[in-house]
Structure 1
Amino acid sequence: MNEAGTVLIITGWRGAGKTSLCQMVVEQARQRGWDVAGVISLPVLEKSVKTGIEIIAIRSNERRLLARSTALANTTLQTHAWAFDPVNMQWGNEILKSAVPCDLLMVDELGPLEFERQQGWLEGLRALDSGQFKLALVVIRPELVAQARSRWPQAVELQINTVTEAPALAQQIIDQWLRSPANRS
């Protein structure tokens, strides 16, 4: 990793508010004139049940359906819970490949596909490895943090336990890391 790029690992269990935290930081970075790039993953809810995952390309705000519950879909690219659309997974990889250089890189999220099966958003791993950003936020589930820490040993880990903690953690990130992007590497 380039010394100029700081990686923040955002971790917490399902429903803890990781994506909400990321959305708050992205909005504040945009308001400060930062070049913000990457992807955010949002839940698709049907009658309050998560049935899918939608991705948003941060620079363009374009949205696509990334995955459906394995109870609703079946593909060759899947985990125990999610069947991923290979076309939209590739689209997400293209977004991540073109994300750097930037001021704030967002990768929401890297999981078992990337760390255990070397599939999924491999361009997200490469973008993070490049260090071509001032700050990167990467969402990682607690069970995969050790693998992320071995890949990015200088990363700072921030844990979120409940969605009510998101505003305070976002403010901590803003106060500590969202400085002027003018000296970006």
Structure 2
Amino acid sequence: MVNLATLPRRLIVTGLSGSGKTMYCQQVIAAAKSAGWRIAGILSPPRFAEGQKTGIFAVDLASGATRLLASCVPVPDEIKGVRFGKWVFDRDALAWGNELLFNLPASDLLVVDEIGPLEFDLQQGWPVCFQAISRPFAAITLATVRPAYLPQLQTFWRESVTLHVETQKYAPSNH
């Protein structure tokens, strides 16, 4: 169980793909909901099919609205958008996420899951996320990032604390 009282004001959660960054965010979100906190931001849980990660959802934490954010390239015509590696990121879902992050309500907890290669390498994805995590809209702000981009995020977000996640794993389910 996550102790909300011990969370730093700005927290970076880092780990490799599948290490449990999103799962940790879900634990923090569950604790915050139990405490009656106002929650905003975006969570990006995986989609599994036959035990394989086949997609990524984007969940608006304020409303619960969910969009398919990304899909593996082998799934034909499921979504159209920005290709990065084996993933295709839906342009409409990215625009929706940017709009959410631009118009954040005041909250007790802000989550941005995940800031990655689209934002750092391509200046695409959710570029508004950098403004979002810098504004004082939330008592606690949590952002996830892969280890390769950790130094860049730490440089940008100097007053943050970093948590390295290595052990939590998702059990595939039908989401």
TM-score of the superposed pair, with normalisation by structure 1: 0.81
Q: Give yes or no for contact 1:73–1:83 (8 Å, CA) kept in 2.
A: no
Q: How far, CA to CA, are the matches of 1:100 and 1:119 in structure 2? A: 23
Name the amino acid aligned to 2:87.
W
In the alignment, which residue of structure 2 is the partner of 1:146? 151
1:115 shift after superposition: 1.1
In the alignment, which residue of structure 2 is the partner of 1:171? none
Matched, 1:49 2:37: no
> What SS does the aligned partner of 1:118 have?
coil
1:76 shift after superposition: 4.5
- CA 1:34 to 1:116, structure 2 compared with 1: closer, same or farther past 3 Å? same
41, 58, 65: which is aligned to 2:61? 58
1:77 shift after superposition: 1.2
Q: How far, CA to CA, are the matches of 1:73 and 1:7 in structure 2? A: 39
Unpaired runs of 5+ residues, structure 2, are: 1-7, 170-175
In the alignment, which residue of structure 2 is the partner of 1:94? 99
- Equivalenced residues, count: 160
Q: Give yes or no for contact 1:16–1:160 (8 Å, CA) kept in 2.
A: yes
113, 133, 152: which is aligned to 2:138? 133
Q: How far, CA to CA, are the matches of 1:115 and 1:155 in structure 2? A: 18
1:54 shift after superposition: 0.7
1:46 shift after superposition: 0.8
1:6 shift after superposition: 2.2
Q: Give yes or no for contact 2:40–2:105 (8 Å, CA) kept in 1.
A: yes
Unpaired runs of 5+ residues, structure 1, are: 165-185
In the alignment, which residue of structure 2 is the partner of 1:79? 84
**22-31 or 123-132, larger mean C-alpha shift:** 123-132
Q: Give yes or no for contact 1:68–1:83 (8 Å, CA) kept in 2.
A: yes
1:130 shift after superposition: 1.3
Q: How far, CA to CA, are the matches of 1:22 and 1:55 in structure 2? A: 13
Q: Give yes or no for contact 1:41–1:56 (8 Å, CA) kept in 2.
A: yes
Q: How far, CA to CA, are the matches of 1:132 and 1:60 in structure 2? A: 17
Q: How far, CA to CA, are the matches of 2:76 and 2:152 in structure 1? A: 29
1:62 shift after superposition: 1.1
1:98 shift after superposition: 2.0
In the alignment, which residue of structure 1 is the partner of 2:163? 158
Question: Which protein is richer in helix relative to its size?
Answer: 1
Matched, 1:35 2:38: yes
1:100 shift after superposition: 4.2
> What SS does the aligned partner of 2:118 have?
helix
Q: Give yes or no for contact 1:100–1:127 (8 Å, CA) kept in 2.
A: no
Over the matched positions of the two proteins, sequence identity in percent amounts to: 37
TM-score of the superposed pair, with normalisation by structure 2: 0.86
How big is the alpha-carbon RMSD for the aligned residues of Structure 1 and Structure 2? 1.6
Q: Deviations over 1:103-141 (max 9, x none)?
A: 110000010111121111112221112132111110100
1:72 shift after superposition: 2.2
